[in-house]
Amino acid sequence: MTDLGVAVVVEDDVDVRNLVEAVLSQAGFEVHSAAAGREGVDVVRLRDASVVTLDVGLPDIDGYEVLRRIRQFSDAYVVMLTARTDELDTLTALHTGADDFLSKPFRPRELRARVAAMMRRPRQDSRATPPAGSLLSGPEAAGSATPADDSVLRHNGLTLNPETRLIVVDGSATSLTRSEFDLLHALLKGAGAVRSKTELVRVVRGEYYRADAYISESDERAVEVHIGNLRRKLGENPLEPRWLQTVRGVGYRLAPERGQLSQRT
């Protein structure tokens, strides 16, 4: 196995499959492939893949179902590839647990840059099960799940540790995808500053999206989906936000501390 690990290409179109295999091989991955969905799930499991590229339109089961099955046992980075341009496909992919998506035809350099940006994120993330004894309540939870570290962030009963990529809410560990974790981390670091959707797209996509890069409405809608998923997993009521406050027409910011809220009422 190479230093970057294993990549699995799940694609029924031979030409596209060969292209993606070449891109990932040149990037430094050990590459395996599958031409159908069920086979792809088996290869990802067998090879312990680090990265998966997944076609939406497969001959047996569609890419969304393949992704659901992969997410039951794997935290691999997943890039969905689709020939469709419907925004619904993009949102479905993100809801199902994809890390990124690309529409066909795509530029090989863009695929490689997207994968490189994902690989720069820490491999260990908030899907990991915390050690025994860490699911406590009250102040003990923050202490057990987070060492004494200035980088640890706490807000309204939530603790985020960027080193272990663990989230604890009211004493219970919460599982987030990489994109959800990175968005929450960015908003917590902002300490109440408004972050535009454009800024948050760059948080999700990494360095590939430079300051002068074009960001589409679909990219911004993807951020909205991630925020919606975050709220659902954190158990937050968007009408009375505890952590993620919407700034209409702009983006999002961290909700005020509970003490500040009680002082205003």
If asked whether residues 78 and 184 sit together in one domain, one would say: no
pTM for the structure as a whole: 0.61
- For 144, the token pair is 């057990």
With a cut of 80, say whether residue 154 has pLDDT above it.
Answer: yes
- Predicted pLDDT of residue 88: 64
Cα four-point dihedral sign 23, 24, 30, 36: negative
Per-residue pLDDT of 137-148, as tens digits, reads: 333 343 444 344
If asked whether residues 29 and 106 sit together in one domain, one would say: yes
Mean pLDDT to the nearest integer, 77-102: 76
Within-domain flag for 204: yes
Fill in the amino acid letter for 206: G
- Predicted pLDDT of residue 136: 34
- For 229, the token pair is 């998923």
Please choose, from the candidates 188, 206, 125, 193, the residue with its C-alpha nearest in 3D space to the C-alpha of residue 152. 188
Within-domain flag for 124: no
- Reduce the DSSP state of residue 221 to 3 states and report it: helix
Report the CATH number at residue 237.
1.10.10.10
Residue percentage of the chain with pLDDT more than 90: 27
If asked whether residues 149 and 114 sit together in one domain, one would say: no
Within-domain flag for 130: no
- Based on the structure, what is the number of domains in the chain? 2
If asked whether residues 112 and 181 sit together in one domain, one would say: no
Write the burial class of residue 262 (CB in 10 Å: 0-12 exposed, 13-18 middle, 19+ buried). Answer: exposed
Mean pLDDT to the nearest integer, 78-97: 74
Within-domain flag for 160: yes
Report the CATH number at residue 64.
3.40.50.2300
If asked whether residues 94 and 162 sit together in one domain, one would say: no
Last residue within a domain, chosen from 86, 119, 152: 119
Please choose, from the candidates 122, 188, 135, 189, the residue with its C-alpha nearest in 3D space to the C-alpha of residue 158. 188
With a cut of 80, say whether residue 3 has pLDDT above it.
Answer: no
- Predicted pLDDT of residue 36: 95
How many CA atoms within 13 Å lie on the side-chain side of 40?
A: 33
- Predicted pLDDT of residue 42: 96
With a cut of 90, say whether residue 173 has pLDDT above it.
Answer: no
If asked whether residues 96 and 143 sit together in one domain, one would say: no
Within-domain flag for 131: no
Within-domain flag for 126: no
Structural domain span for residue 92: 6-119
With a cut of 90, say whether residue 106 has pLDDT above it.
Answer: no
If asked whether residues 101 and 153 sit together in one domain, one would say: no
Query: Rounded to an integer, what distance in angstroms lies between the CA atom of residue 153 and that of residue 174?
Result: 15
If asked whether residues 87 and 167 sit together in one domain, one would say: no
**Nearby residues of 48 by Cβ (< 8 Å), 6 or more positions away:** 5, 6, 74
Per-residue pLDDT of 31-45, as tens digits, reads: 999 999 999 999 999
- Output the CA–CA distances (angstroms, integers) from residue 22 to 33, 38, 80, in the order listed: 11, 23, 17
Average pLDDT, the chain: 79
Lowest mean pLDDT among 26-35, 82-91, 133-142, 181-190: 133-142
Lowest mean pLDDT among 54-58, 153-157, 207-211: 207-211
If asked whether residues 28 and 145 sit together in one domain, one would say: no
Within-domain flag for 47: yes
E strand residue ranges, the chain? 6-10, 30-34, 51-55, 77-82, 100-103, 153-155, 158-161, 166-169, 172-174, 195-196, 244-247, 251-254
How many CA atoms within 13 Å lie on the side-chain side of 131?
A: 6
If asked whether residues 178 and 236 sit together in one domain, one would say: yes
Last residue within a domain, chosen from 119, 147, 175: 119
Band of pLDDT at residue 184, cut at 50, 70 and 90: very high
Band of pLDDT at residue 150, cut at 50, 70 and 90: low
- Predicted pLDDT of residue 38: 95
If asked whether residues 63 and 16 sit together in one domain, one would say: yes
If asked whether residues 205 and 253 sit together in one domain, one would say: yes
Check: CB of residue 15 under 8 Å from CB of residue 39. no
With a cut of 70, say whether residue 210 has pLDDT above it.
Answer: no
Last residue within a domain, chosen from 119, 148, 175: 119
Within-domain flag for 1: no
Check: CB of residue 68 under 8 Å from CB of residue 97. yes
Mean pLDDT to the nearest integer, 189-200: 87
Fill in the amino acid letter for 255: A
Strand 251-254, strand 244-247: pairing: antiparallel
- Give the highest mean pLDDT range of 50-64, 94-108, 190-204: 50-64
